[in-house]
Amino acid sequence: MFDFEKLDVYSKMEGVTAEVLKNIFADRTLDPFLKDQLKRAIVSVTLNLAEGAGRMSPADKKHFYAMARSSLFESVALLRILKSQQLIQDTQFEQWYNEMEEVSKMTLKLIQKT
Q: What is the pLDDT of residues 84-110, one digit of tens each?
A: 999 999 999 999 999 999 999 999 999
59 falls in which pLDDT band (50, 70, 90)? very high
pLDDT value for 38: 97
CA distance 114 to 67: 14
pLDDT value for 55: 97
Percent of the chain at pLDDT > 70 equals 100
CA distance 75 to 39: 8
The enclosing domain of 101 has a CATH number of: 1.20.1440.60
Q: How far is CA 50 from CA 3, 65, 71, in A?
A: 8, 9, 13
Number of domain units in the chain: 1
Encode 33-61 in three state secondary structure: HHHHHHHHHHHHHHHHHHHHHHCCCHHHH
Summarize the confidence of residues 46-68 as an average pLDDT: 98
pLDDT value for 22: 96
Residue 20 one-letter amino acid: V
Q: Report if pTM > 0.85.
A: yes
49 falls in which pLDDT band (50, 70, 90)? very high
Summarize the confidence of residues 80-87 as an average pLDDT: 95
**Which residues, 6+ apart, have CB-to-CB distance to 4 below 8 Å?**
10, 49, 50, 52, 53, 54
Summarize the confidence of residues 7-20 as an average pLDDT: 97
The domain of 81 spans 3-113
